Amino acid sequence: MPKIRNNPILQKVTGTLGETVVIRQTKNGPVMANAPSKPEKYHPTQIASQNRFRHAKNYGNNSKVNESLRAMYATGITKKKNSVYQVALTDYMKAPEIRRIETDEYRGQPGNEIFIYAIDDFRVTSVTVVIISAAGKEIERGEAVLSERVRDFWIYTTRSEISSLAGTAITATAKDTPGNSATRTFTFDI
C-alpha cells in the first residue's frame, strides 16, 4: 500500500470525494479508501433509532426558541453540554431511571410514606405511584412530592388502609420534561 507523507493538501482533509473516495485522518497519517456502500434496507431498530434522534433534534431546536424551555435548559449547560440545544437533545434521548422504591416506613396505613429514588440526566418532573392489592385491585394512585431535604428522592404519602401487605405491588413511574418515562415495581413477599 502506498504511503502519503508531507502532502500539505491531505494533512487536514477529511470527508468524501464524490461518492467513491473517503479520506480520514489516523495516527499514521491520512488514509484514502473506497466509500462505504449504504444498505438498501434498514433494520426496524435502526429506523426507530433514526426517528428517535430526528425527534430529539426537533426538540432541541424547539428548546432554543421556546422561552421557558430555553431558560430551564440554560441551567444545565456544562463544559460537555455547552448549549441549550445539547442539554435538551441529551434530555430527550435519555429517559429517567428509578433506582429504588423504599417501603421501610410503609405499614399499609394512611399517612405512611413511600420513598422513590428517581434520577434523570437533567430533571425528573413527576413521579406517580400506584398501589395494587395481591388480588390485582387498584387501592390508590397519586403523585409523589419531591423531597426538600434529600436530592432526587420523592415522597408518596398513602391515603388508604390495607389489611395485608403480602403480594401488594407498588409501582412508581417517573417522567422528565420531554415526556420520557421509567417504571419500577416493588412487590411485598407473600
Q: How far apart are CA 7 and CA 23, in angstroms?
A: 13
- Per-residue pLDDT at 1 exceeds 60: no
Buried b (16+ CB within 10 A) or exposed e, 16-52: eeeeeeeeeeeeeebeeeeeeeeeeeeeeeeeeeeee
Residue 13 pLDDT grade (very low, low, confident, very high; cuts 50, 70, 90): confident
- Per-residue pLDDT at 68 exceeds 80: yes
Are the beta carbons of 64 and 85 closer than 8 angstroms? yes
> Identity (one letter) of the amino acid at 121?
D
Q: What is the reported pLDDT for 84?
A: 95
Q: Is 91 exposed, middle or buried (0-12, 13-18, 19+ CB in 10 A)?
A: buried
Q: Is 142 exposed, middle or buried (0-12, 13-18, 19+ CB in 10 A)?
A: middle
Q: Domains (ranges, CATH) in the chain?
A: 12-36 (no CATH), 44-93 (no CATH), 97-187 (2.60.40.1930)
Specify the pTM.
0.76
pLDDT in tens, 81-118: 999 999 999 999 999 999 999 999 999 999 999 999 99
